[in-house]
Amino acid sequence: MNGDMRMEEFSRQLEHWCRFVREVEDGYELTIYDYTNDLSYRDSIDTAVAAESSRVPRAVVEELSRCDERFRKATNQTEEPVLPTGTHETKWWWFRVPRKLVGELADDLRERRMT
C-alpha cells in the first residue's frame, strides 16, 4: 500500500466488509439500500487490491479470502445484480443475496423478485 494512511483506510474497509458478512450470516435486517451500500465496500477493496496488489500483505489477502468465502456460503447467486448499474454488473458480489432473509431486506428482495 502507498503509505500508512492508505493501509489504514484499506483495513477499515476490510473490517467493514467482514462485519457486514457476519450480519448477512446472522440475518441482514436493514434495507436493500443499506445492503447495496455495504456491497460497495467490496468494490473499494477490489479497486485497492488491484492497484496495489504487490504491496497488500499476505495476511490481509487471506482475511479477505476468508470473508469472501463466508459471504458466498451465506448467500445465493442471482441472475441479475442487486444494483443493476455501473461496474457492479461485473463483480460477483453484486449477484448474491442472503440465504437467511429477514426484515426489510427480505421484503425489498421479494418486491424485486430476487428470492
pLDDT tens digits for 14-49? 999 999 999 999 999 999 999 999 999 999 999 888
Confidence class for position 2, pLDDT limits 50, 70, 90? very low
**What is the rounded distance in angstroms from the CA atom of residue 78 to the CA atom of residue 75?**
9
Residue 93, domain extent: 4-111
User: Which three cell numbers mark 7?
Assistant: 493501509
Q: In total, how many domains does the chain have? A: 1
pLDDT tens digits for 46-104? 988 888 777 788 888 899 999 999 999 999 999 989 987 766 557 999 999 999 999 99
Candidates 15, 27, 43; CA nearest to 103 is: 27
